[in-house]
Amino acid sequence: MPHLQWSRAAQADLERLQVFIAKYDEAASWRALRRIMTAVKSLTTNTHQGRRYRGMNDVRELMVPYGARGYIVRYQVREDAILIVRVWHGREDR
Superfamily grouping for domain 3-89 = RelE-like (3.30.2310.20)
- Average pLDDT, consecutive stretches of 10 residues, N- to C-terminus, the chain (94 residues): 93 95 94 96 92 82 91 93 94 76
Indicate the pTM of the whole model: 0.89
DSSP string for residues in 62-84: EEE--TTT-EEEEEEE-SSEEEE
Q: How far apart are CA 59 and CA 76, in angstroms?
A: 4
